Each structure stands twice: as C-alpha cells, then as structure tokens.
Amino acid sequence: MRVKVYITPRRGVLDPQGRAIEASLKSLGFNDVGPVRMGKYIELEVAAASPAQASAEVRRMCEQLLANTVIEDYRFEVEDA
Amino acid sequence: MRVKVYITPRRGVLDPQGRAIEASLKSLGFNDVGPVRMGKYIELEVAAASPAQASAEVRRMCEQLLANTVIEDYRFEVEDA
Amino acid sequence: MSHNPVALPGEPEVNLAQALAHGLSEDEFRLIRNHLGRTPTFTELGVFSVMWSEHCSYKSSRRHLARLPNKGRLVVGGPGENAGALDVGDGWLAVFKIESHNHPSFVEPYQGAATGVGGILRDIFAMGARPVASLNSLKFGSFDNARTRYLLSGVVGGIGGYGNCVGVPTVGGEVMFDAAYDDNILVNAFCLGLARKGELQSARAQGMGNPVLYVGSATGRDGIHGASLLASAEFDASSAHKRPTVQVGDPFTEKLLIEACLEAIKTGAVVALQDMGAAGLTSSSAEMAARGKLGIEINLDQVPLREPNLTPYEMLLSESQERMLIVAQAGREHELQAVFEKWDLHAVVIGRITGDCRWRVSWRGLLVADIPVAALAEQAPAYERPMARAAACTPPVRVVRERPAPAEALRRLLDSPNVGSKRWVYRQYDSIVQSNTVMEPGGDAAVLRIKGTRRALALAVDSNPRACALDPYLGAMAVTLEAARNVACVGARPIGITDCLNYGNPERPEIMWQFARGVDGIRDAALALETPVVSGNVSFYNETQGRAIPPTPTLAMVGMLADLDYCRSQFFRRPGDAILLLRTSAPALAASEYDALFGGGNRLGAIDLHKERELIDLLVTLAEKGLINSAHDVSDGGLAVALAECCFNEAGKFGASVEVGTPELDTVVNLFGEGASSVILSTPSDAAARVVQMATGRGLGCRRIGTVTSDPVLRIDSDIAIEVAELRTIYEQALPGRIQGHG
Amino acid sequence: MKWGVVSFPGSLDDRDTLYALRDVLEQDAELLWHKERDLKNADCVVLPGGFSYGDYLRCGAMARFSPIMESVVSFARRGGLVLGICNGFQILCEARLLPGALTRNRSLSFICERVTVRVENTHTPFTRAAAPHELLRLPIKHGEGLYVASEDELRRIEDRGQVLVRYVDSSGRATEAANPNGSMHSIAGVANESFNVFGLMPHPEHAVEPMLGGEGGLKIFRSIIQSFA
Ligand SMILES: Nc1ncnc2c1ncn2[C@@H]1O[C@H](COP(=O)(O)OP(=O)(O)O)[C@@H](O)[C@H]1O
Ligand SMILES: [Mg+2]
C-alpha cells in the first residue's frame, strides 16, 4: 500500500525555512503570498493486510522515527492500490 | 486560498535521504517497507481572484523558486477555502 | 560466448551519423573500426565516445602537459597516478590534486559542486591517503547578472554540504566575480591527503585471475550521456537536450567509503584501487588494466543497480557517485568484504583480471563489448591542434573613467566583491575538523600541522584571469609565483604544484595558443622555483556561443614548514614594529582591480624569475630566523588594500602609519597597482635594518615604510587617514551586502 | 577515570575528541563502536560531533536507535555521565535524554566560527571547574543548532538551572547579535534534570590547545575529571 506522510513544524515552533521562502517569494514580486510553512513529504510503500493495519504501522513509524513530536506534527494517508 | 505544494526527487535521481530512511525503518523492524522517497511539503496562502489564477501563480512560484526542476518534480493543490 | 559482441535488441544501428552524434569525428570513427577490425556495437561506441572524449583522454592537451616538470627530490608519485605524492618528511607523504567541476556546477550548482568535492576526495583516498584538507577556486559572473547569486549560494552550499559531512576541513580557496564568467562559471576543487611512506596504494591491475570488486553506491542512470560529454563540448542551445540525469552526491556514503577503503588497504589484500569517476565503470576498469598491461573481464549481471532495466550501455557509462573499483588478491576477497560490511557497504565481485589485454564485458550470457585495452587508454587519439596568437590578447583600450581620490578609491576597492572579505563563503565550511588547522581561511595560505611531528603544510590556490587575458604566458607565470608567495608568506617553503587549466574550445587556434602559452608560463615558473607539477586537470570548452572565458590556469601550491614555530600570519602583531615593503619590480595598473573599476591599465610588467625566487627564499629564511612578526603579499587591490588587511587583526586593534610615495611612481599606480611581487613585513624595530640588508643583499628592493601604531588608524602618506574599523566594516560587508541586498 | 567516545557511522569529531582526551589531557579514553553494547567501563561517555547517518531526515534521528545507545540510555538513567557535543547533543535530544530539539540555524546556513559562551551554573559535573559566569571561547560548526523547546519547558529548565551555557557577546551579555543561530534564550547547552547528561552545540574538543583556537574547552573536560578525583 502506498503511504504519504506529511510532517510540518508545530504551531509556535520557529520555521526559519518557511519565513525565508516567504521573504524570497515577496522579493520575486509574489506580493499576495501569506504565511508559508515548510515541512517534509515522505512517500513509501508498506505491505499490510488492510489499510487499518497499514495505518497502525505508519503511525508507529512516525512516532518512532519520521517525526520529532517535540517540534513536529504529522499526518498521513494510506492509499489502497 | 490555501495551497499545498509537494516536491519530490525526480525519477532516476538519487535520493540519499529516502534510502537512509528506508534502511533505518528496516533496522527498526519495519520489514515490510518498500521504497521510500523523501521530499518537501510547503503550505502557503495566496490571495487570488480564482483558483485558476492561484494555480497559475503557484506554478510560477514552483518554477522560479520552490522546486529545483533540474532534479525535482512538483505538484500542488489549491483549496478554495 | 560468441566470438564477437552482439548487437542487443532495440539498440540503434551504428554508423557514422551515430558516431558523430556521440561527439566522435569521422577520423576517430575510422580509427575505432581499425582497432576492432569491425564496426563497434552501440555499447562499444558509447564506451569509445566517453573514453576518447576530451575530458577523459586529454587528447588536445596531452602533448603540451608533457612539458611540465614533474620530477624532483621529494616526488614519490606523479602524473599518471590518481594524484601526485611528495615526501614531506618524518615518514609522511602529501598526496594532492585539483580538479574542475565547471559544467555540472553551472547546470546544478549545489549538486555539481558537491559531487566535484566528492570526486576529488576519492582520487586522494584511492591512493591510500586520508584526506586532510580541501581548497576550492570559484569564478562567477558579475553581480549584475541575476543568476550569480543563485549560482554562488548553490556552489558554496554544495561544497560545504559535502565537505562538512565527510569531515574533511575546507581550509581555503578563492572567489572572483567577473562578467567574463556569466555563462561559464568555474568550480575547481583541491584535496590533500596524508599517507605513510611506503604505504601508497597503486591503481595498477596485477595478477591474472585476481577478482575485481565493486564497492559503494548502486548504479543508476546518473550522468549518462552527459557529464564527460558535456565537459567536452561548448554550451549551446542543444546542451539542454544532452543534459544527463544530474548526479546527486551522498556524502554520508562517501564518509563510509573513506573509512572502509583505508581500512581495506590495511589488510594488504588490495592490489589496485580506483574511483569510478568520469565514464564510471568503463574508465576505472580500463585504466587499471592499462596501467598493468593486462586485460579485464566484467560481468554486468553482478553490478548493483539502483533501478531496474539498465542497459549495458547505461551501466558502463553511468557516472553514479560514491563507487570504487578494487582489484583484490585472489582468495582474499572475503576479508575485504568483511571490512566493507563493517561499514554497512557491500563489495561484490564483478569480474577478474585476464592476461590477454582485452576489455571484455558480458551481460545475461552475451558478450557486449570486446575491445583491446590499449585502444581505450594509451592509444586514444592525441592531437597537435593548430595554434594562432589570439587577437583578443592585445590589451583592450581602457577608458579612464572618474579617478577618485586615493582615500575614496581605497574604500571602493575594499567594497569590491573581489577584494572584500570572503568570510561569507568560508564561514559555511567546517575548517577545523581533524584538529590540524593552525591557520584558518582568511590569510595568505592555510597551515595544517602534521600530528606527532613539528612539521606543518601550507596550502594556497590562486589564479589571475585578467593577467592571463592580457598575456597568457606572463599571466600563468604570475599565478604560479603568487601561489608560491602566498605559501612563503606564512613561512613555508613551496614544494609542489597541482594545476587546473580552464580554457575555452581547444579546436579554436587562439584558445589552443592561450593554453600552450599558459603551460609554458607555469613550466618556467615551476622550474625556477624547483616546484614540480605532480598532478593536475584540464577543463576545455568553457565557452558559450563562441564566447570563451579568459584563460584561467588555477594553481595550488603546497608548502612545507619544518617547524610550526616558523608560522607567521599577515596581521600586525605589535605596536612599534617596523613596517617594511619588499618589491621585486614596479607595480602596474594592468589587470588590477583598480583598472576593472576605474580604468587606466595598460600592459603587464616584466617578470624577473631570479628575483622572484630570491624573494620566496628570503621570506622563508626570515620566518625561520624569527626576524619577522608578520608577512602579507600584495595582491588584489594593491598596496593600500594589503596594508589595510594587515590591520584587520581579531585580537589586537592596531593601525599603521606609512610613507610609501616615491618620485618614480605615480601615486595611483603605487597604491593600487598590482603585478609586482610585493610583500609587507613587520619586524621588531631593531631587526628592521638587518632585514633590509638581507633583502638588498639578494638584489631585492626593500625599505622601511613606517610603523605599526596602537592608534587604530591607517595613514598612508598625506593621502589616506581612515579608521581601521571603518575600513574593516566595508571589507566585511562587501560580499554579504551584495548577496542579501537582493533577497 | 575512563572515557568512552562513541563512533557512529558519520561521526566526524570522534577522533578529535579522542585526541583532546588522550594526547592533550592525558586521559584513558577509547572509541566505542555503535554496533556494540559494551561501554567498556567508561565513567563518562561522549557522543561526538559529525553527521551521524548523514543527518538525513533529522540530525541525530537515526543514531539514537543504534545498539550502543541502548547502553548509553541505561547508563544515563543509572546516573552515568554523558556529554553530547553538537551532533551528540542532537542525538541526546532525539533520544529524549535532554529536553528540547535542535533545528535549522536562523540564517539557514552552516556556520563555522568562534563564539563566546557564559557558564550559567557551576554546580554541575560539567562546569564545576569554571568560575560563575565565566566566559569561554569555543568554536561552533553546525547547520542545525537553533535550540527550541516549548515555553513551559523553557521556563522549567531555566528555573532549575539546566541551561549550563549561553551565547553572549565579549562583555558577557546575551544579545541577539551574539546569538549565532537564533537559539531560544540564547541557549548553547543544557543538562538534564539530574545534571548527569549535558549537551552543547559548541565544540570543547576543538579548544584545548593555544595554537588551535585557544583553550576554552579545557574547563569542560577538567570539570568532568575533577568530578572523579
Ligand atoms: N572559496 C573559498 N573557500 C575557502 N576560503 C576562501 C575562499 N575564497 C577565499 N577564501 C579565503 O579568503 C582569503 C583571501 O583570499 P584571496 O584574496 O584570494 O587571498 P590571496 O589574495 O592571498 O590569494 C584566503 O585565506 C582564502 O583562503
Ligand atoms: Mg595573498
């Protein structure tokens, strides 16, 4: 099953990359741009019996490794292909 | 309008991060994990008259700044909120 | 296996048109058929096209490079090996080389520069030397060009991103901005390693039947049809189509490779080791076989692949990074495999050494290539290309624009990105890892100690394209001398050179002439200094739509300090010290930064090699005798800038008060001219007379021009009196101001 | 006393740390291999700087799962002294042996330069040889050293004196200009609640010889040595 994981900086945590991108976009003339947040996007495959099982597995991956929950939030989608 | 941009390494381009994550997941006992690709996820707001106009704008942002099209692909979603 | 290699299903037919499309000439195609006694297969054609490319075969430069002196008392290994090696005493060898990564860095600055660093590191540890220091020489277009900032940040980020992650300190370099590089940037990377005497690793295949091992990253489609070919032709509108899959560096894997290879060498089971650089598996296997006058057989089914369905053509031409090829002692491959496993790397046997001098490749039970090894190596074409003195080399008429007052000119010069501090660049490099860096970036040369000894090495890299554009011979000579002087200013005796020769399209007679003159200039200077050229690299085709870069030979000089105590910096150390000016000849505005800003330049001054050599020898002697407290050579910006730089001490806040005016020289030329070999010394006041005497005894101009002051103001004649703090701010802001000023 | 310096794949300053301890401070020190579990009777374990596992994904994220880290964690829980330098600090945060996390520098670029830090608490095994508020010159070299923690967490660690070193200017003031990476509260290094685990971004092992960037780092190592005297 195909999984997409989105990791974003937690609200309140500084996001210097997002801020830098925002500033660059503005300097390029994209004046109508609002707050930019920069995160990570991970695509992976898991072999699982059911989407529910895959979800449980991916949640554990996120908690253990993919995200640092002190500073990051995560969410993911499992696509049953 | 809320925009989500997904940036991934191009097919064929080496993705050392994805490979390292895969190896790490396996060593943590997630043996059923297949290829992992690591990319970027950017959330931003644009003020635009229509989703079509927003799309055109975001495409230009991606080409000019957000993605490095020599080695990265991008796609995005515009949410009319 | 059939006798002749077979065409694979779906492969294009091989004919002249196909050969031309591969960048080979009609003659070369004919030559290939002669070598084989038949038409090559498509796979073989690909193999020839990369092995006979300018980048891999040095076909235009080989004959000229033979003129460079490469012998000497200290030389242990020279050209032909992966890098040169010098005996630096106490049982240590210094192994070093410089290489270009210009074209890839223009296409993708971060990865291009990063993989450039990765490639030069592999050349060094392939010799059995632990890489201990990196330098880089960078040329960008002007800041008026919108792409310059992007290229600069990308290249610097890539060098740091890779170098910092593998734990090799980047200890110095140079950066220049000039519109002449708008469409062709230069990225030259240097690495130096240390090996124990008697433990150099060879890259020469030996022993029929010995297994060939592949180690490191799996092979992907990176760089196929591109990296070497791209560097072997001009950029033009069609370059975009030739664009290969860009190579992405993986410094983490490189770090593991360094450790694993050095450990593998220690087992004694490695017969030969070489990195898979340009033309990857093809060139590494063919070159190792050629050096040993042996043959090699490769089975592509064993090659680790990153993606499925690579064709033999792609596997052979791939330039995937972080891969090495090993010839091992038969029966000991398991020992080596165990070492690589320890470092989480895989070593797989992909072939063996044969006695028949053929390069033979099989895949899925089919023979896909069978070529005499010599045809890929020493019998590759070498050309004596036509040469013609370049018209462009008559000095351009410089319109003299405004002539600011000297104080204002000094400010403007310090604000030039070519003169101002490069801290913005080197701050992004780890310059202290490995705990050897005695002199960090920012001085005339970097100094590294050799642990366990009193010795140290000094490293500097220099180029001067403006002088080379005016006179490719004198310019190349001046560059060599400047590199030697930089090393001597920190107290080291210059001992060896590696050079990277960046030029335009060698098929144009003027370019070929520039190149040949450049080689002569380096040769004459190297002979005078007795510093052999032990390794190097040529980069041609730095040219876009007929517009070539100025001739840019880049010289890296290695110097040796017999004792760390001899080490001197450029900074004034004590108020009351005498300031001395050593000069071999009169400066000139030609090719100076002043000329670039305000005009006025004309023709380069002559060079007296005897005096130059005396100057270097004097500097080393003065340092060894402890007669001087600081030394700084005058380069970009001229004397006034150099004096200011001597005052930019972190620790103390000093100034200088000097009288430099002389009746023979125009004030502007005196203060801002370049070209002459000049060095600013500070000595204890009571030693000044003795130093002047030693210099004049050698026929060198030397006089006391003033005193180091505790008052932090730079005073030059009646022309300049400016607070050092103000000068320093201008100097430090020159680069960041331009980079941040535009987001 | 005995020192153990862990080598992870991608560790870079492991040899430098060993050199500082053995050759400069004449200590009994040895490398510990990440695949092993034996701490070889070390009294103090050092997690060195570098790019363990390439720092791919996040700095220190992968190293914390290596076999040696299981031993380091239980050693720390038993009160053993653990010092994390740069990447080692990042690993200790990822392993939750230290509060907070380290993220991209405010400038987004790698920074290699000398900074001044002020010792904030001298009643710990890592700082006892320093005078209160002593200033130390130490090099930093990192791309991700911006210390972050939640407001609550920050208040707690400040109240308990867990902030051991802070970036300051040459006169000892914690200004924004003197904060090289944008760390919250200018934090350069923190200890755990029981003060037996300490992580800092600056590199004391690169400041132990006058010729190579001064001796500011000796205070940290000497403090630890004194704790065992
Ligand atoms: N690309 C670079 N990488 C690292 N250090 C650099 C780089 N460019 C310049 N530097 C450092 O900045 C200082 C000044 O450089 P430069 O003006 O070219 O010196 P010089 O004129 O003495 O050759 C040197 O110490 C040099 O090593
Ligand atoms: Mg100099």
Q: What percent of chain D has pLDDT over 90?
A: 99
What pLDDT shows up at residue C226?
A: 58
pLDDT averaged over chain C? 93
What pLDDT shows up at residue D188?
A: 98
Is the model's pLDDT at D16 over the cut of 70?
A: yes
Q: How many CB atoms lie within 10 A of CB D27?
A: 17
pLDDT averaged over chain D? 97
| Residues of chain B neighbouring C221 (CB-CB closer than 8 A) | 12
N-terminal to C-terminal alpha carbon distance within chain D: 8
What pLDDT shows up at residue C1?
A: 43
- A-side interface with C, Cβ within 8 Å? 23-24, 27-28
Residues 6+ apart with CB under 8 A from C156: C113, C138, C425, C428
Give me the half-sphere count of Cα atoms (radius 13 Å) on the Cβ side of residue C315: 24
What band does D79 get if pLDDT is binned at 50, 70 and 90? very high
Instruction: Tell me the C-alpha distance between C687 and C708, whole Å.
Output: 14
Answer positive or negative: Cα dihedral of C479, C480, C486, C489.
negative
For C87, the 3-state DSSP assignment is strand
* Ligand 2 centroid, distance to C484 Cα (angstroms): 10
pLDDT digits (tens, 9 = 90+) for D123-160: 999 999 999 999 999 999 999 999 999 999 999 999 99
Nearest residue (CA) to ligand 1, atom 16: C174
Answer positive or negative: Cα dihedral of A64, A65, A68, A72.
negative
Q: Residue D30: beta bridge partners? A: D4
Q: State the CATH number of the domain containing residue A33.
A: 3.30.1280.10
Is the CB of D58 less than 8 angstroms away from the CB of A68? yes
How would you class C740 by CB atoms within 10 Å of its CB: exposed for 0-12, middle for 13-18, buried for 19 or more? Answer: exposed
Q: Concatenated DSSP letters for C657-668?
A: EE----TTS-HH
Task: Tell me how close the Cα of D112 comes to any Cα of chain C, in angstroms.
Answer: 5
Residues belonging to chain A: 81
Q: How many CB atoms lie within 10 A of CB A19?
A: 16
For D205, the 3-state DSSP assignment is helix
CA dist C152 → C101, C417, C419, C442, C659 (Å) = 14, 12, 16, 18, 39
Asked if the C-beta of D54 comes within 8 angstroms of chain B's C-beta atoms, the answer is yes
Is the model's pLDDT at C547 over the cut of 90?
A: yes
Question: C464 in ligand 1 pocket by Cβ < 6 Å?
Answer: no
What pLDDT shows up at residue C2?
A: 46
Instruction: Tell me the C-alpha distance between B24 and D68, whole Å.
Output: 15
Instruction: Please say whether the beta carbons of C443 and C174 come within 8 A.
Output: no
Instruction: Tell me the C-alpha distance between B40 and C318, whole Å.
Output: 27
Q: What percent of chain C has pLDDT over 90?
A: 87
Is the model's pLDDT at C241 over the cut of 50?
A: no
| Residues of chain D neighbouring B24 (CB-CB closer than 8 A) | 53, 57, 61-62, 65
Is the model's pLDDT at C741 over the cut of 70?
A: no
Is the CB of C429 less than 8 angstroms away from the CB of D113? no
Q: Minimum mean pLDDT among C232-241, C445-454, C556-565, D9-18: which range? A: C232-241
Is the model's pLDDT at C239 over the cut of 60?
A: no
Structure token pair of residue C268? 């004694």
Instruction: Tell me the C-alpha distance between C310 and C300, whole Å.
Output: 10
Instruction: Tell me the C-alpha distance between C637 and C546, whole Å.
Output: 31
For D109, which residue in chain C has the nearest alpha carbon? C428
- A-side interface with D, Cβ within 8 Å? 12-14, 16-17, 20, 65-66, 68, 70-71
Instruction: Tell me the C-alpha distance between B67 and A11, whole Å.
Output: 24
| Tally of domains within chain C | 2
Question: Which of D129-168 are b and which e, b meaning 16 or more Cβ less than 10 Å from the residue's Cβ?
Answer: bbeeebbbbbbbbbbbbbbbbbeeebeebeeeebbbbbbb
CA dist C196 → C129, C492, C564 (Å) = 8, 21, 20
Q: What order of strands is seen across the sheet that includes strand C533-539? A: C437-439, C446-449, C456-462, C552-561, C493-502, C533-539
Instruction: Tell me the C-alpha distance between D92 and D98, whole Å.
Output: 6
Q: Of C312, C347, C380, which closes a domain?
A: C380
pLDDT digits (tens, 9 = 90+) for C511-543: 999 999 999 999 999 999 999 999 999 999 999
What pLDDT shows up at residue C202?
A: 92
Is the CB of D112 less than 8 angstroms away from the CB of C428? yes
Q: How many CB atoms lie within 10 A of CB A52?
A: 10
Summarize the confidence of residues D168-191 as an average pLDDT: 97
| Residues of chain D neighbouring B20 (CB-CB closer than 8 A) | 53-54, 56-57, 62
Is the model's pLDDT at D87 over the cut of 70?
A: yes
Nearest residue (CA) to ligand 1, atom 8: C174
pLDDT digits (tens, 9 = 90+) for A18-58: 998 999 999 889 988 989 999 999 999 999 999 999 999 99
Task: Tell me how close the Cα of C222 comes to any Cα of chain B, in angstroms.
Answer: 7
Domain of residue C219, residue span: 1-61+202-380
Nearest residue (CA) to ligand 1, atom 22: C444
Is the model's pLDDT at C240 over the cut of 80?
A: no
What pLDDT shows up at residue D64?
A: 92
Instruction: Please say whether the beta carbons of C533 and C68 come within 8 A.
Output: yes
Domain of residue A50, residue span: 2-79
| Residues of chain A neighbouring D148 (CB-CB closer than 8 A) | 13-14, 71
What pLDDT shows up at residue A14?
A: 80
Amino acid in position A9: P
Instruction: Please say whether the beta carbons of A7 and A40 come within 8 A.
Output: yes
Q: Which residue has the tokens 């002199």?
A: C439
Summarize the confidence of residues B40-54 as an average pLDDT: 92
What pLDDT shows up at residue C396?
A: 55
Asked if the C-beta of C150 comes within 8 angstroms of chain B's C-beta atoms, the answer is no
Is the CB of B34 less than 8 angstroms away from the CB of A48? no
Q: How many CB atoms lie within 10 A of CB C408?
A: 12
N-terminal to C-terminal alpha carbon distance within chain A: 6
| Residues of chain C neighbouring A23 (CB-CB closer than 8 A) | 743
* Ligand 2 centroid, distance to C460 Cα (angstroms): 9
Closest Cβ–Cβ partner in C246, C250, C320 for B70: C246
Is the model's pLDDT at C743 over the cut of 50?
A: no
For C98, the 3-state DSSP assignment is strand
φ, ψ of residue C517 to 5 degrees: the values are -65, -35
User: Which ligand is closest in space to the CA of residue C632?
Assistant: 2
For C258, which residue in chain D has the nearest alpha carbon? D10
Asked if the C-beta of C241 comes within 8 angstroms of chain A's C-beta atoms, the answer is no
Q: Of C363, C380, C397, which closes a domain?
A: C380
Question: C175 in ligand 1 pocket by Cβ < 6 Å?
Answer: yes
Interface test with B, best of D51, D52, D59, D62 (most B CBs within 10 A): D62
Q: Concatenated DSSP letters for B6-72?
A: EEEEPTTS--HHHHHHHHHHHHTT-TTEEEEEEEEEEEEEE--SSHHHHHHHHHHHIIIII--TTTE
Structure token pair of residue D173? 């003031």
The secondary structure of residue C535, as a DSSP letter, is E
Nearest residue (CA) to ligand 1, atom 9: C174
Q: State the CATH number of the domain containing residue D70.
A: 3.40.50.880
Is the model's pLDDT at B61 over the cut of 90?
A: yes
Amino acid in position C663: P
Q: Concatenated DSSP letters for C261-287?
A: HHHHHHTT-EEEEEE--TTHHHHHHHH
Is the CB of D53 less than 8 angstroms away from the CB of B24? yes
Instruction: Please say whether the beta carbons of C641 and C419 come within 8 A.
Output: yes
Is the model's pLDDT at C742 over the cut of 80?
A: no
Q: Which of C559, C527, C610, C613 is nearest to C68 (CA)?
A: C527
| Residues of chain C neighbouring D16 (CB-CB closer than 8 A) | 433-435
Radius of gyration of chain A (CA): 16
For A4, the 3-state DSSP assignment is strand
- C contact residues 713-742, partner A, Cβ 8 Å cutoff: 742
Question: C322 in ligand 1 pocket by Cβ < 6 Å?
Answer: no
Instruction: Tell me the C-alpha distance between C202 and C274, whole Å.
Output: 8
- Tell me whether strands C92-100 and C130-140 are parallel, antiparallel or unpaired: unpaired
Is the model's pLDDT at C200 over the cut of 50?
A: yes
Q: Angle C486-C102-C155 (CA atoms, 0-180°, nearest 5)?
A: 75
H/E element, A16: helix A16-27
Is the model's pLDDT at C477 over the cut of 50?
A: yes
Summarize the confidence of residues C299-326 as an average pLDDT: 94
- Tell me whether strands C358-363 and C295-299 are parallel, antiparallel or unpaired: parallel
Would you call C225 a catalytic residue per the annotation? no
Is the model's pLDDT at C564 over the cut of 60?
A: yes
Its pTM stands at: 0.94
Instruction: Please say whether the beta carbons of C626 and C573 come within 8 A.
Output: no
What pLDDT shows up at residue C10?
A: 85
Residues belonging to chain B: 81
Q: Is residue C464 part of a domain?
A: no
Q: Concatenated DSSP letters for C407-476?
A: HHHHHHHHTSTTTS--HHHHTTS---TTS-EEE-BTBSSEEEE-TTSS-EEEEEEE--HHHHHH-HHHHH
Instruction: Please say whether the beta carbons of C140 and C152 come within 8 A.
Output: yes
For A26, which residue in chain B has the nearest alpha carbon? B61
Q: Of C380, C408, C425, which closes a domain?
A: C380
pLDDT averaged over chain A? 92
Q: Which of C28, C39, C35 is nearest to C372 (CA)?
A: C35
Is the model's pLDDT at C360 over the cut of 50?
A: yes
ipTM above 0.90 for this complex: yes
Is the model's pLDDT at C233 over the cut of 70?
A: no
* Ligand 1 centroid, distance to D207 Cα (angstroms): 24
| Residues of chain B neighbouring D61 (CB-CB closer than 8 A) | 24
Which candidate in C22, C101, C225, C632 is catalytic? Answer: C101
Task: Tell me how close the Cα of A23 comes to any Cα of chain B, in angstroms.
Answer: 11
| Tally of domains within chain B | 1
What pLDDT shows up at residue C6?
A: 86
Asked if the C-beta of A34 comes within 8 angstroms of chain B's C-beta atoms, the answer is yes
Question: C425 in ligand 1 pocket by Cβ < 6 Å?
Answer: yes
- B contact residues 52-81, partner A, Cβ 8 Å cutoff: 57, 60-61, 64-66
pLDDT digits (tens, 9 = 90+) for C214-228: 999 999 988 876 545
Question: C430 in ligand 1 pocket by Cβ < 6 Å?
Answer: no
Q: Which residue has the tokens 């270009």?
A: C100
What pLDDT shows up at residue C538?
A: 96
Looking from the CA of residue C462, the nearest atom of ligand 1 is: 23
Structure token pair of residue C345? 């790397």
Interface test with D, best of A17, A22, A24, A70 (most D CBs within 10 A): A70
